[in-house]
Structure 1
Amino acid sequence: MSYAVGIDIGGTKIAIGLVDQSGQVLAKNTLPTDHSVPPSEMVDRIAAAVKQLATAAGIKEADILGIGIGAPGPLNTKLGQITEPPNMRGWWGFPVVDSFKRHFELPISFQNDATAAALAEKWIGAAKEADNFVYITISTGIGAGIYSHGKLITGATGNAGDVGHLVVDPTVGTCVCGQQGCWEYVASGTAIARQASELLGRTVTSKEVFDLALNDREPEMERLVNQVFRNIGIGCVTLINTLDPELLVIGGGVSQIGNPLFNAVRDYVAHHALNPSGRNTPVIPAALQQEAGLIGAAALVHLNY
């Protein structure tokens, strides 16, 4: 049996796992992303955790095909660098691939985290039968992985799919990227919590907002959530009109709201996609959820990306 190491780097935590050729996670661990230390020290900690996992599982380095790394963008896969992710400023310009090479002589693959998650959904998740689909993650921000004509579309530097910065409503406030009204500024989990907190005059989480809207039927929160669902639909229609996928797969924390979200988005797509066939595009939940990034990072190795 051959294994791959999957490493999913995030702003709050880093998931590490050993994944076999069938996509099963043999062993995994998570580390908090410590922003008080240099990223090179975090790589030291990750490398130590990988070696501990392998030793505990009885796996020798000779049985490991390689290491796959998923990380938030912007990044540069050609240079092996994390360039300027907004919530990881201490990592800007960090040569993450070269840093891991200090610890391992294994091949290293590196892609955007949403791109890696899309590959996981293709490999063993909700998109196994699709050759043209978009995986959308809606959580702290919004990102996407694009799979078209039977392969990942990564772009020149690995940043294809940074759809959170499509402009949806330029009449509202300024996104972290400097544009007005980006998709993630109006429809991410962060956006939901921010807008609701402003309306209510107190700090609330996105989960609390959905509870207030869908369970308590609080009118102001209902209006907000309906607008968020509409904004998610607008982004989905933009992707359908641009890429003509056969399937949209939605994951991330906001997708956990389930049917209210998916029914609203399907309805919007059915009414507003340009092409009649696009109006019938299935919009379905991701299958892998919290492990998509980890499995996707390992898939970069197992599927030779």
Structure 2
Amino acid sequence: MYALGIDIGGTKTAMAIMNASGTIIAHDQLKTSTQAAPEVMLDRIIICAKKLLEKSDVTEKTLLGIGIGAPGPLDLFRGMITYPPNLPLWREVRIVDYISQHFSVPIHLENDASAAALAEHHFGAGHGHKNILFVTISTGIGAGIIANNTLISGGRGNAGDVGHMVVDPSFGLCVCGQLGCFEHICSGTAISREASRLKKMPLSTKDVFQLYQEKEPVITPYLDKVLERMGMAFVSLINTLDPEIVIIGGGVSQAGDILFEPIRHYVTRFTLNKDAAHTPIVPAKLSQTAGVIGAAALILNR
């Protein structure tokens, strides 16, 4: 038996077929167009999913269901993506109903970071831990929370939407309307945008960390401040949730120790509970596949 996972991101949509033991047998991806109407993107996703199933010789008789990880806010009770800041045209999209018109199997929707947390819990860096905080730092920032081996979804499916907690209002207006959100300061999009402005040239997030490693005089003080704000955010999250382990995934986590060490240092100094000062803060083991594995795991977990 198999599960199909679909992970809808701000820049790409990944999908994979996973067997009951958690092994991916086939995968594919397509670009997420922020300019295309949601129905257009959903039609592309459906076509790609059907081709992937056909290529893998998986029929709906052997498909347990389809798990969808999507950016919030969500309304899980209505199977709806409501107002995701990074997908401006996606407003009250009844994604479960739409995809159900093309498949006869159960479909389960969950926040993308929550799905990735589930993947890391079952198959990755969180395996063997009961209480996990997973934070993805990529186009945006979100979190998945596992408490006593249970995924915490919240009343509508939006638990863990930590990207829009305010960290430092001096950094200006976030797309959500607040000043100084965690995501507005520390996401890959934010780092690339602000560093490009400072250097007056286009820079990727990877470029920015490379310049930081070289101690470039404009980038160094800027990224020092960003990493300190990341530390502040993680202290607040650890104080609030008391996890056994913190796992960081998403594209920005690929920077490695140059990212992780300042966060660990800040957490060691400022967590309220000094027993939590040495909470392990580790990179996601499943890296960029956590979201799609987690989406499939939503079905296998049920």
TM (norm. structure 2) is 0.96
- Taking structure 1 as reference, are residues 208 and 150 closer, same or farther at Cα in structure 2, changes over 3 Å only? same
- Tell me how far apart the structure 2 counterparts of residues 302 and 202 of structure 1 sit (CA, whole Å): 46
Aligned residue number for residue 153 of structure 1 = 152
Instruction: Give CA-to-partner distance per residue, 1:113-134, whole Å, 9 cap, x none.
Output: 0010000000101001111110
Answer yes or no: is the 8 Å Cα contact 2:5–2:294 preserved in 1.
Answer: yes
Q: SS of the residue aligned with 1:67?
A: strand
Identity %: 49
Counterparts of residues 231-270 of structure 1 (less than 5 Å): 231-270=229-268
- Taking structure 1 as reference, are residues 267 and 35 closer, same or farther at Cα in structure 2, changes over 3 Å only? closer
Q: SS of the residue aligned with 1:90?
A: coil
- Tell me how far apart the structure 2 counterparts of residues 260 and 11 of structure 1 sit (CA, whole Å): 25
Deviation beyond 3 Å, 4+ runs, structure 1: 34-38
* CA apart distance, 1:36: 4.9
* CA apart distance, 1:45: 2.6
- Taking structure 1 as reference, are residues 150 and 261 closer, same or farther at Cα in structure 2, changes over 3 Å only? same
Aligned residue number for residue 141 of structure 2 = 142
- Taking structure 1 as reference, are residues 196 and 44 closer, same or farther at Cα in structure 2, changes over 3 Å only? closer
Q: SS of the residue aligned with 1:17?
A: strand
Counterparts of residues 1-305 of structure 1 (less than 5 Å): 2-214=1-213, 216-304=214-302
Instruction: Give CA-to-partner distance per residue, 1:226-256, whole Å, 9 cap, x none.
Output: 2121111111100100011111000111111
Instruction: Count residues in correspondence.
Output: 302
Instruction: Give CA-to-partner distance per residue, 1:185-212, whole Å, 9 cap, x none.
Output: 1111122122212222223222111111
TM (norm. structure 1) is 0.96
- Tell me how far apart the structure 2 counterparts of residues 168 and 36 of structure 1 sit (CA, whole Å): 30
- Taking structure 1 as reference, are residues 36 and 220 closer, same or farther at Cα in structure 2, changes over 3 Å only? closer
Answer yes or no: is the 8 Å Cα contact 2:114–2:160 preserved in 1.
Answer: yes
Q: Which runs of 5+ in 2 are unaligned?
A: none
Q: SS of the residue aligned with 2:42?
A: helix
Moved more, 14-23 or 106-115: 14-23
* CA apart distance, 1:35: 4.4
Moved more, 241-250 or 17-26: 17-26
* CA apart distance, 1:89: 2.0
- Tell me how far apart the structure 2 counterparts of residues 55 and 28 of structure 1 sit (CA, whole Å): 12
- Tell me how far apart the structure 2 counterparts of residues 219 and 41 of structure 1 sit (CA, whole Å): 45
Q: SS of the residue aligned with 1:109?
A: strand
- Tell me how far apart the structure 2 counterparts of residues 149 and 193 of structure 1 sit (CA, whole Å): 37
RMSD: 1.3
The code of the aligned residue for 1:94 comes to: V
* CA apart distance, 1:52: 1.8
Q: Which runs of 5+ in 1 are unaligned?
A: none
- Taking structure 1 as reference, are residues 207 and 40 closer, same or farther at Cα in structure 2, changes over 3 Å only? same
